[in-house]
Amino acid sequence: MKIGYVQTSPIFGEREQNFTQVKGLLVNKKADLIVLPELFATGYTFTSKEEAKTLAESVDGITSQFLQKMTKITGATIVGGFIERDNNKIFNSAMIVSETGVIGIYRKIHLYYREKLWFSPGNQQLKVYKINDFKVGMMICFDWIFPETARTLALLGADIIAHPSNLVLPYCQKAMITRCLENRVFAITSNRIGQEKRGLDNFSFTGASQITSYNGEILSSAPKAKEFVDIVNVDINRARDKNLNEFNNLIEDRRIKFYQYI
């Protein structure tokens, strides 16, 4: 199957321009699964909760409508980040969208830095979605630093982790090699580029979006400072065999009774 990502440079608050950028990058691209960055339509660096709220949407808002159009153009199921409004709360969320509409939502459970001032932490269980013949789970950016996130998705049966990101630290791409190796899953980390200097923050986003294989191999690595798209072919069955060799199975060999502190 064909899996890929779009690496973008969102302009803060300019949803229509950000949609146009994604649409331009996806011209003539066909795939089964495509991942876009965290908060790709709005930008990331807010100055207040009120400001973030003005860019928040319901699950059937304009970002989901845009993504649904992109699924028709690409033939792909698409995952992308957005600010989700639910009554008085807002969440840093990702949605998985097919031609028929939104299949599911993930609300980021590990909020990074000042995100804690704007967003409520995710309040729903991690989940895996069966799409045709593959299973995909979502996590968002900083979730990578908590290995329990990817492990939970793998235990739920994910073949692929869709990982919309706005990375500002230099460690994630290397960490994803371990996350994939230790769980024998594929991962698509879709990152953004550019800089946002707003309020008290001055973030430089690190690009280098990455597709990581079940065996830790890097199948695609984007430039650090350029908009970019890539799509690669993977054999998804590889993620279903958790045997590292004839003696070691990475799920069955766990010694849970010795892990009592987690």
Binding mask 25-64 for ligand ACM (x = CB under 6 A): -------------x--------------------------
Query: Of 108, 115, 180, 196, which residue is the catalytic one?
Result: 108
Dihedral (CA of 31, 32, 33, 36) sign: positive
Q: Please provide residue 103's backbone torsions phi and psi, each rounded to the nearest 5 degrees.
A: -90, -35
Q: Please provide residue 11's backbone torsions phi and psi, each rounded to the nearest 5 degrees.
A: -100, 125
Closer residue to ligand ACM (CB): 149 or 183: 149
Cα–chain center distance at 240: 21
Q: For 118, what's the count of Cα atoms within 13 Å in the CB-facing half-sphere? A: 25
Residue 6 identity = V
- From the number of C-beta atoms within 10 Å of its C-beta (0-12, 13-18, 19+), residue 184 rates as buried
Q: For 113, what's the count of Cα atoms within 13 Å in the CB-facing half-sphere? A: 14
Closer residue to ligand ACM (CB): 18 or 74: 18
Minimum distance between the CB of residue 143 and ligand ACM, rounded to whole angstroms? 8
Identified binder of ligand ACM from the candidate list 35, 52, 141, 153, rule CB under 6 A: 141
**How are beta strands 210-212 and 201-204 bridged, if at all?**
unpaired
15: tokens are 């949803």
Minimum distance between the CB of residue 215 and ligand ACM, rounded to whole angstroms? 26
> What is the SS3 assignment for 192?
strand
Closer residue to ligand ACM (CB): 38 or 196: 38
Cα end-to-end span (Å), the chain: 35
Segment interacting with ligand ACM, rule: CB under 6 A, options 5-13, 47-55, 65-73, 165-173 = 165-173
72: tokens are 């028709």
Question: Under the criterion CB under 6 A, does residue 168 sit at the interface with ligand ACM?
Answer: yes
Cα–chain center distance at 78: 10
Size of interface with ligand ACM, in residues (CB under 6 A): 7
* Active-site residue flag, 141: yes
Query: Of 84, 115, 135, 141, which residue is the catalytic one?
Result: 141
Segment interacting with ligand ACM, rule: CB under 6 A, options 119-127, 164-172, 190-198, 213-221 = 164-172
Minimum distance between the CB of residue 164 and ligand ACM, rounded to whole angstroms? 9
* Active-site residue flag, 14: no
Question: Under the criterion CB under 6 A, does residue 166 sit at the interface with ligand ACM?
Answer: yes
Binding positions for ligand ACM, 75-104, rule CB under 6 A: none
Minimum distance between the CB of residue 171 and ligand ACM, rounded to whole angstroms? 11
Could you tell me which of 136, 111, 141, 125 has the C-alpha nearest to residue 239? Answer: 136
* Active-site residue flag, 38: yes
**Count of positions (residues) in the chain:** 262
Closer residue to ligand ACM (CB): 7 or 166: 166
Q: Give the interface with ligand ACM as residue ranges (CB under 6 A).
A: 38, 112, 141-142, 166-168
- Which residues are catalytically annotated? 38, 108, 141
